[in-house]
């Protein structure tokens, strides 16, 4: 993963179970707002702050991300968190990227729910020191003020939800058609 030339790089962690149009919309908004060169989707093995594991396997989530991002030049996928045992800690991922891109500015894209519990993340101080956070908000939520964390706030209101898609009986309008076919072919979320 080692790279010598500096790049503006954003990490976007999540379960992506499944990846949907809202994820891509938020990612593109971050790219545009911060003039980023690359955004890497990082499916997590299991979030330490969520009590449930993903319904689709790690490989299935990588496959769906690959289908959803094909042809998007700025999008990448990294399965490094899936290869670790135990919960997925963001600080471990950030450390790996700091080592691989020592001259680069690192961003982390997250939503209001994660921003408001950021102080519960392992190695919180290190994350605040090493990252510029891109906070995606729907505009009406209360945000905890974190003067110690460099941030850019972007607002929007995309209606897609992985939970709603998983619970739906038919493929959602918010799924890439290749992803919807994949879900059907593999009988996911039934």
* Domains defined for the chain, CATH in brackets: 8-159 (3.40.50.620)
Residue 71 has pLDDT above 90, yes or no: yes
What does the pLDDT read at residue 49? 57
Q: Note the pLDDT of residue 162.
A: 83
- The stretch 83-100 carries a mean pLDDT of 91
Q: What is the DSSP string of 140-159?
A: SS-----TTS-EEEEE----
Question: Across the beta sheet with 105-111, what order do the strands follow?
Answer: 75-77, 38-43, 8-14, 105-111, 132-137, 151-155
Contacts of 97 (CB under 8 A, 6+ apart): 1, 9, 11, 104, 106
In this prediction the pTM is 0.91
Question: Tens digits of per-residue pLDDT, 8-59?
Answer: 999 999 999 999 999 999 999 999 999 999 999 999 987 665 556 678 999 9
Residue 7: what pLDDT?
86
Mean pLDDT of 111-125: 93
């Amino acid at each position: 993963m080692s790279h010598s030339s500096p790049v503006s790089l954003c990490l976007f962690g999540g379960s992506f179970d499944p990846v949907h149009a809202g994820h891509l919309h938020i990612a593109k908004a971050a790219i545009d707002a911060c003039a980023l060169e690359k955004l890497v989707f990082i499916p997590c093995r299991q979030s330490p702050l969520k009590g449930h594991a993903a319904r689709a396997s790690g490989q299935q989530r990588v496959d769906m991300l690959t289908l959803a991002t094909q042809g998007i030049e700025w999008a990448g996928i990294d399965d490094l968190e899936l290869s670790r045992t135990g919960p997925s800690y963001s600080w471990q991922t950030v450390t790996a990227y700091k080592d691989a891109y020592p001259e680069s500015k690192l961003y982390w894209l997250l939503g209001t729910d994660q921003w408001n519990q950021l102080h519960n993340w392992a190695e919180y101080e290190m994350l605040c020191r090493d990252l510029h956070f891109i906070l995606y908000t729907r505009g009406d939520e209360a945000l905890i003020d974190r003067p110690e964390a460099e941030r850019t706030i972007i607002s929007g209101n995309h209606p897609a939800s992985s939970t709603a898609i998983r619970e739906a009986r038919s493929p959602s309008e918010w799924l890439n058609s290749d992803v919807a076919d994949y879900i059907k072919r593999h009988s996911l979320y039934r």
